[in-house]
Structure 1
C-alpha cells in the first residue's frame, strides 16, 4: 500500500496521515525529516545538503527523490509507505516515475480556501509550551491568554492571513499541473486517485479513507 497524501495547508494532512500510518502500520515519509536525518548522519549526500541549506538554496528534486528511493528500501516499508505532501511539483512526480517508485493511491484532501483561511488564521499559540488554541473551535478560557499560565498567546507568522493567502496561491500554481498528471495516470490505470472532502468530521473522513483503501 503505497500512498501519496496531497492537500493544501490547513486541509488536515497531519491528522489523516497519522491515522493512516497507525491503522495500516506503514511509515510516513517526510522529505523534511529525511533531509534533517541526512545532514545529521554526515553522509556524503548530507554534507551536500547542508551546504545547499546554508546558502539558502532549495535542495534539488533529484537529491530529494533519491533520498526517498533509499528510504523505501528499508525494512519498515515492506508493506508500503505514506508520502506526506510529496511530490509538490510535476517535476518531482515525473522523477519518482523515472526511478520506478510505484504508487498505488493518491488521496487528495479538499477544503474550500475560505475555510482554510478561517482554520489557520484562527490559531493562537502559547510559545513557551507549544499549546495551540483556536478562536472558534478551541478558544482559551480568557481571550488571548494561555489556560494554564495566563501568559499571552501569539499568532505565528505562517498563520497570518497575508502569509496564508500567499502559501495557498503558491500551492495552487504548483498543484494544477501535478493533479492533471495524476488524473492522466488514473485514466490509463496506473494509480487510483480519490478526492476526499476534508470539511467533514474526523471520524467521517477516517471512514472514507478506510472504505477507499479496501478497494
Structure 2
C-alpha cells in the first residue's frame, strides 16, 4: 500500500496564540544584572543608566535604607533612631534588607541590577559567603558586566576628584583643573586645524569657542574655592583600596565569571566615557534573546475626572485612546472586564474603579482601590496567570458539632491554597 502524506487541514491558519504568548511572558524570568569592577571604576553610574533604560530595580543599600526610613514600618523607625543617635547600621541588617528587596514582588517582575555585592565588609559575611548568596538567589543574575581599568589610570582619575562643599557635587579633574581644561582645548583646536582647510565662517566658530572657553574658565574660578578633596580620594588611600580589592574580592569574582555563560558576560574598558560604556552594553543586549519587563501605565491622571456611573462598555471605549504608545494603537479590553484582578485572585469579586485603570501588555485592567492598584503595579503576574480570571469557588461545610468541620476546612484550604 502506498502511504499518503498527511496534509494540514488549514495550511494558512494563523498559529499565533495571543493567550499563549501572554502566558509565556508572565511565566518568564525577568532579566537580572550584576556589575563587577574596582572601586570607583563607574559601576554605580552605569547601573543608573541601565536602570533608566531597562526599567529594572536597582538594589543598593542607600536607596533601600532611604525607602525604609521614609516608610512607617518598625524597621524604618529603628533605622532612623540609630542614625539620629550617631550609630552605624549593622552590616547584618543591611544584607537582610537587600535580600528582602531581591525577593520582593517588584523585583520578581522587573528584575534587578546589583553593584554592591560582594562588599569589602567581612563582619557579617565573608566574600565567599556573599558569592554563595548570589548563586543561591531565586532570580539568579543573567548578565554579568565587568568593568576593567588599569590600576594607574583608575588611581589618577579618583585622586583627581573634588567635591563641592555646598552642593556635594563631584567634579573630575577635567572639570575643575584649569590646566586640564586648557590642554583639552588645545588638543581640540589642533585636531580641527589638521582636519579642515580655511573656510568661510571659521573665524566666527573660533570666536564662539573662545567665548565658551572663557565662560567655562569663569565658572571654574567661581567653584574652585569651594572644592575639597575627600579622604577616600587621596592617592595613597585609593591605591590601598584597589590593592585590597585585588587581594580579597577579585579572585572569587574571576571564578564566578569563568563559570558564567560567556555569551552573557560583557567586559568593558573603564577608561572610556560613561555614555560610551552604556551604549556598548545596550548594543550587546540587542543581540541577546532578552526581554525587558513590561511597563504598567496608569491611564487616568489625577487632574482628570471620570464619572463612576459610566457603563462598562463606555468606560473602556473612553480609556482605550488614553496615553497611546503608537498612533491608531488602542488599548484592548481584557478578559477580566471591569472586575479587579487583585481581588479576584484573593477569591473576592469587586468591580474596578475608573480612577484606577492601568494598561499592561496592550490591555486595560480596572483596580478597585489604591491598595490593589499599588500591589498590581509592583507585580501583576500572579494575578493574571491561568486559571485566572476564574470565578472564586466557595465551599460551605456543615455538619453536627465536633464532626470535624474545622479540620476538613483547614485541610481543604491548605491543599487548594484557599482561605
Question: Which TM-score band applies after superposition, normalised by the shorter structure?
Answer: 0.7 to 0.9
- Give per-residue Cα distances to partners, 1:126-180, cap 9 Å, x unaligned: 2122243333x2225599x954356342111111012111211222123223213
- Give per-residue Cα distances to partners, 1:99-123, cap 9 Å, x unaligned: 4341101111111110111111111
Distance 1:92 1:191, change over 3 A: farther
Contact 1:31/1:86 (8 A) holds in 2: no
- Structure 2 unaligned blocks of 5 or more: 1-30, 120-126, 180-216, 289-419
Taking the aligned partners of 1:194 and 1:116, their CA distance within structure 2 comes to: 20
Whichever structure has more strand as a proportion of its residues is 1
Taking the aligned partners of 1:185 and 1:44, their CA distance within structure 2 comes to: 40
Question: TM-score under structure 1 normalisation?
Answer: 0.78
- Structure 1 unaligned blocks of 5 or more: none
Q: Give the deviation of 1:213 after TM superposition.
A: 1.9
- Give per-residue Cα distances to partners, 1:55-93, cap 9 Å, x unaligned: 658513xx5444233213232651211112323333112
Cα RMSD for the two superposed structures = 3.3
**DSSP 3-state at the match of 1:138:** helix
Query: What residue number does 1:167 align with?
Result: 241
The answer to whether the aligner puts 1:133 opposite 2:165 as a matched pair is no
The answer to whether the aligner puts 1:104 opposite 2:155 as a matched pair is no
Moved more, 39-48 or 198-207: 39-48
Whose Rg is larger?
Answer: 2
Task: Give the 5 Å matches for 1:2-17.
Answer: 2-17=32-47
Contact 2:37/2:146 (8 A) holds in 1: yes
Query: What residue number does 1:83 align with?
Result: 114
Which structure's relative contact order is higher, taking Cα pairs within 8 Å and 6+ residues apart? 1
Distance 1:34 1:50, change over 3 A: farther
Contact 2:266/2:281 (8 A) holds in 1: no
Question: TM-score under structure 2 normalisation?
Answer: 0.43
Aligned length: 209
Q: Give the deviation of 1:51 after TM superposition.
A: 6.3
